[in-house]
Amino acid sequence: MNSTQVSYFTLGAYFDTGLFKYLYFLIVLILYIFIIVANVLPVVAICKNRSLHEPMYIFLCSLFMNELYGSTGLFPFLLIQILSDVHTVSAPFCFLQIFFVYSYGSIEYLNLAVMSYDRYLAICHPLQYNTRMTVQRVAMFIAVIWSVIFLVNFVTLPLIVGLQLCGNVIHKVYCDNHSIVKLSCSDTTVINIYGLIITCFVVFGPLILILYTYMKILKVCFSGSKQTRQKAVSTCTPHLASLLNFSFGACYEILQSRFDMSSLPNMLRIFLSLYFLTCPPLFNPVMYGLNLSKIRVTCQSLIS
């Protein structure tokens, strides 16, 4: 069966919840509304307040915009599926959701990696920071991240669409690349090699940068003054928390797509599979809003 003949996919992870589906719908809807408000508010605050037009806040603005983008690729679809009795999705929309999910995850991770470099310059080279991390350079970093990831995913989609499929059941609550590849009954060597190259670029490259920058930051902290250590802790703690939070969800998503997780309860598997798409957009704006006084004060003035 050729992939062009598959007009829809069935999402096999859903199960009958009876009247509880309306409760689940309400919970997910409230969560989505909260994510929108929590991410839009600091973006507006950063854009409105000229004192926030600094590298760290511009990177945060990119991070929050990406979380709005990723949430849009999941939540409206999830709300419809919760109320639906037949959990199917058309093939074009399934591929579109794959594009949303994978570009969101890649941009999030690369954005956090570049933010670690920004923190490294601020702590290890404070006198050179303003010349090495200008607003123009930050804008270039963000533009390169978004454009390269979109280009990579535009190349990936035709490879997935061109696969010959021997089934149309995806055992998840949303569409993902690996599930489509597992349905293939044709040679997947090309897409596997391409996926390995992209993984090295998107995962291992940024990981090396993150490890290098934090090793340098730790070295400065151990050899520096108490004031330097306090600055490092205050500026790096939110970033590290964001990084670990996202990495946990992304690692589980990778592991459960490659290994059998049927021993876990169904609801827990669904929650963990949605973790990296729901918890970072919920967690990051709240955490940064509480830790960074400039954002917090500006958001309070906007609300009042």
* Tens-place pLDDT, residues 125-168: 888 888 889 889 999 999 999 999 999 988 888 888 888 888 88
For residue 172, how far is the Cα from the chain centroid?
Answer: 18
Residue 51: what pLDDT? 83
Which pTM was predicted? 0.90
Most confident of 4-18, 144-158, 230-244: 144-158
Is 188:181 a contact under the CB 8 Å cutoff?
A: yes
Is 75:174 a contact under the CB 8 Å cutoff?
A: no
Closest to 219 measured CA to CA, from 115, 103, 111, 125: 125
Is 42:120 a contact under the CB 8 Å cutoff?
A: no
Is 183:136 a contact under the CB 8 Å cutoff?
A: no
Domain boundaries, the chain: 3-303
Class of CATH domain 3-303? mainly alpha
Residue 1: what pLDDT? 40
Q: What is the pLDDT of residues 259-285, one digit of tens each?
A: 777 777 878 888 888 888 899 999 998
Q: How high does pLDDT run on average in the chain?
A: 86
CA dihedral sign, ordered 71, 73, 74, 75: positive
Residue 5: what pLDDT? 62
